[in-house]
Structure formats: structure tokens, C-alpha cells
Amino acid sequence: MSDSDGTTATLPAALAVAGEPAGRAAWLTPLELGGLGAIWGGSFLFMRVAAPEFGAFPLVELRLALGALLLLPFLWQARAHFTAALWWRLAAIGAVNSAIPFALFAWAAQRAPAGIGALTNSMAVPFTALVGYVLYRAPIGRWRALGLGAGFAGVLVLASGRMAGSSVGPAVLAGSSAALLYGIGANLVRRHLVGIPASALAAATLACGTLLLAPFAIATWPARPVTTAAWASALLLGALCTGIAFTFYYRLIHRIGATRAAAVTYLVPLFGILWAWMALGEAPTARMAVAGALILGGVALSQRDAPSAR
């Protein structure tokens, strides 16, 4: 879920995949799930490379702006849905569901290995269930309750680790807070933004996040030249991991439903840890393995109570 709202709104015609041959969908769906997991897992590597040079706010500003630009055609196509009153809701959700959590993950990437952020990101699934229960009294079920407990235990195990003699607890707290905001954002979208094409909604919230974060990005823009590697990572983070990845995700939601598309959540931390290990030499630790088993086990348990309908 990395950076998704989980909404099941109708897609624009450009993304429609209804009527695809069954044989094609049989091999295309797992291919797209794996590709999306690899892309979103890569976002934590790119943040780890770029955040120390850009800083959290400038990096996230670039990410939001590039993602919004790539999805702008879908916003234009669905422009009739967007009234003046609606933009206030979009601004709030843009802050909760993109600008603030993206900044928290970028801040964490300056202080802990990429795998830490990838693992805490997975808590968005059980947090969505918890927020739905607290705000809207949505049934949480025993499996989701157990999943929440396992996920929290995993976060505690993760937060107790150290890197180069320093605690990674603050980074774990930042990542977990971002995941909680994703849970809040997903519930707000489902309750208050029904009927808006999903990719247009993503474009609108990313654009709102860009505007909201702009003053902070300008105030903290790096004074020193940024390396080519950091620029490349920032561009890939915005274009590939935000704009293009949202397109893949909404295709999957349209084809197989939001519940099954959420299976990508299991792949993101695996790829996040793998890419960081291969590119940066950040080998996974035994503590990360235990925490990952608890967190992903909690995600699996929380999915058991999810409705099977699309």
C-alpha cells in the first residue's frame, strides 16, 4: 500500500481492463503484482539515497509534483467531478494521505535503513481496520484484532534495534505514524470521496499535497549542489514509484478488486529490503526478520476478515 488509498472507485476509460481475455489476466495479474511490489519496494531505496541530500520536504515536494504531473490527464478527463467545495476535502486528504506520510518516511530514511521504512509501511493495512473501527464503528473481527496485536508487537521489536550505536526507534515511530495516516486517509476516501475516478482522485490529492508542502520545501531547499545519484533517485521516486505505480495499482483494483490487490503489501517490504541490500549493502538483521514476520503475519490475519467481494 505503499502509497495508495485503497479506493475502489471506477477507473477512467484509459485504464479500463474489463473484457481482457481470461488467459491474459491469469498471467498478467501476478506479473503486475510482482512489478508493483518491486517498484514500491524501490521507493524506500530511492528515499534512502536522496533524502540525506535533499532533506525531507524538498524531496517529497519533487515526488508529489512529478506524480501529479503524470496523472494530470486523468484529472482533466474527470474534471466535471471536482466542484469548488470538494477541493477542501481533497486538500485535507492530500495532507493526510500523501504529503505528511511521505515526509515522515523521507525523514526516517535519513536515520535508518530502507528496510525499516518498508516494514513499517505494511502497518497501513491493520491501521486501516483500526481507524475504521474507531471512527465509523466498522466491525473489526477477531482476526483483524489478532493482526493488530501481532503488527504492534513487530513494531516494538523493530523499534528496539540500533544502527551504528543509535536507536532506530524514532525512524520506526515516524514510519508507523505515516502508516497510521494512510489508514486514516483510506477511510476518509472511502467515506467522503465515493464516485470519483481513482486515478483522477490520486492526481488531485497529489497536486494538493504539492501546494501544501511548497512553502516548507522552498524554506529548506538544499544550499549545496545535489549529486546526480540523488537527483536520479528523486526523479524515479516521483515518476516511477508515485505516478506510474498508481496507474498499475488502479488497473489491478479494477481487474481483481481492492482486497486481492492489497496482496502487494506482502511484497513491498521484501523488495524494499532486497534492493537496499543489493544497492547499499544494508543487510537484513535477525531483529528485522522477527519484526517482519510479526508485521506481515499481522497483515495476513487482518486480511482474513476482509470482505471477499470486489
Per-residue pLDDT of the chain (310 residues; tens, 9 = 90+): 454 444 333 333 333 444 455 555 566 778 888 999 999 999 999 999 999 999 999 999 999 999 999 999 989 999 888 988 899 999 999 999 999 999 999 999 999 999 999 999 999 888 888 898 898 888 888 888 898 899 999 999 999 888 766 789 999 999 999 999 998 988 888 888 777 887 888 899 999 999 999 999 999 999 999 999 999 999 999 999 998 888 788 777 767 766 677 778 888 999 999 999 999 999 999 999 999 999 999 888 877 765 544 4
- pTM confidence score: 0.86
In Å, how far from its chain's centre is CA 26? 25
In the chain, where the domains are located? 13-304
Contact present, 122 and 303 (Cβ < 8 Å): no
Radius of gyration, alpha carbons of the chain: 18
Give the per-residue pLDDT at 141. Answer: 82
CA distance 124 to 3: 10
Neighbours of 155 (CB within 10 A): 24
- What the block records as the C-alpha cell of 29 is 495479474
DSSP designation for 263: T
Which grid coordinates are listed for 209? 499535497
